[in-house]
Amino acid sequence: MGSVFLTYVTEQMRTKRYAKRTIQSYVYWIKGFINFNNKKHPVDCHDIEVECFLSFLTNQLNVAPKTQALALNSLVFLYREIIKKPLTLNLNFNKSTAQPKLPTVLTTIEIATLLKNISASHALPCKLMYGSGLRLMEVVRLRVQDVDFNYLSVMIWHGKGGKHRRVTLAKELITPLKQQISATKLLYQQDIRNGYYSGVWLPHALKRKYPLAAMEFGGIIYFLLTD
């Protein structure tokens, strides 16, 4: 059986609309903090224990600055939002000073070569990420109704930070996208004819609000990109 306390933290983060990966990361570091303190409840810990934990990450584990910052953010959230006893702004711990690696940026020629050699099943998602600036999960969750061919744009809903935005769609992707939509429609029609098909998953209470949406093509959520 999992920790009741960590389950509570997870539910509170879901209530506050935190992204799934953020929840996983925060819970991971909160659990690490609890184990570091010999499973003492966080209510019985505070600034000193947090400082020791953050210093341990640097001195013993030699983590990167971003990793230590993520652990700190997790504990700041824990004490501010869950325990309701915020940490001091002047925590004294050994900050990680490991130099971050310089990013590798491909040239235009290298990008063109890469896109030409990507398998057909992954080419369109990669071109969308490169041409429209979509993140990986934004591409995976892209819906038929989110592609606007008239305005050559793609609408992104609940992106990073829960924000919505509209991005530019390259003209070169119009034909591949329309082909993908046609292929998706064939799969959709096969699903509809399947007596056991109950529709796509809908978030929150949308299934009750729009009872037919789960069975509609391009409706509330129907993935545009398929393997």
Per-residue pLDDT for 227 more than 70? Answer: no
Q: Where are the domains of the chain?
A: 4-82, 120-215
What is the tens place of the pLDDT at every residue in 93-103? 988 876 767 88
SS (H, E, C) the chain: CCCHHHHHHHHHHHHCCCCHHHHHHHHHHHHHHHHHCCCCCHHHCCHHHHHHHHHHHHHCCCCCHHHHHHHHHHHHHHHHHHCCCCCCCCCCCCCCCCCCCCCCCCCHHHHHHHHHHCCHHHHHHHHHHHHHCCCHHHHHCCEHHHEECCCCEEEECCCHHHCCEEEECCHHHHHHHHHHHHHHHHHHHHHHHCCCCCCCCCCCCHHHHCCCHHHCCCCCCCECCCC
Tell me the fold of 4-82: DNA polymerase; domain 1 (1.10.150)
Per-residue pLDDT for 221 more than 50? Answer: no
* 0.75 exceeded by pTM: no
What is the tens place of the pLDDT at every residue in 152-177? 999 998 887 778 899 999 999 999 99
